[in-house]
A and B are shown apart, each in its own frame.
Chain A
Amino acid sequence: MNTIYFVRHAHSHYTPDEYGRPLSEEGIAEALKLTKVFNAIEIHAMYASNYQRAIETIQPIANDKNLPIIHEETLNERILAKEIIPDFLSAIQKVWAEPTFSFLGGESNIAAQNRVIPTIEKLLTLHKDENIIIGTHGNILTLLLNHFDKQYNIVFWHSLQMPDIIIAKFENNQLISTERLTY
Chain B
Amino acid sequence: MNIRQEDDYIIINGFKFEGEISNERCKHCNSQKIRNDQYDAYFCPSCNTWLEEKCSDPYCHYCPQRPDKPIPEQYVK
Contacts and interface: CB of A to CB of B under 8 A. Distances in A.
B10 interface: no
A161 B52 CA distance: 20
5 contacts: A11-B62, A13-B40, A13-B53, A14-B53, A26-B40
Interface of A: 11-15, 24-27, 88-89, 138, 158, 160-162
B52 A162 contact: no
B40 A14 contact: no
B53 A162 contact: no
B72 to A, nearest CB: 22
A25 B56 contact: no
B55 interface: yes
B67 to A, nearest CB: 16
A138 B57 contact: yes
Interface in B3-52: 35, 37, 40-41, 52
Contacts of B62: 11, 24, 26
Contacts of A15: 53
Contacts of B61: 11, 161-162
Contact of B41 (A24, A88, A158): A24
B55 A158 contact: no
Contacts of A162: 55, 57, 60-61
Given A13-B40, A138-B57, A160-B59, 6 more contacts: A11-B60, A11-B62, A13-B54, A14-B53, A26-B62, A27-B40
A27 B56 CA distance: 14
B35 A11 contact: no
A14 B59 contact: no
B31 to A, nearest CB: 19
B60 A24 contact: no
A14 B58 contact: no
Contacts of A160: 59
Contacts of B58: 88-89
A161 B55 CA distance: 13
A24 to B, nearest CB: 5
Contacts of B56: 14, 88
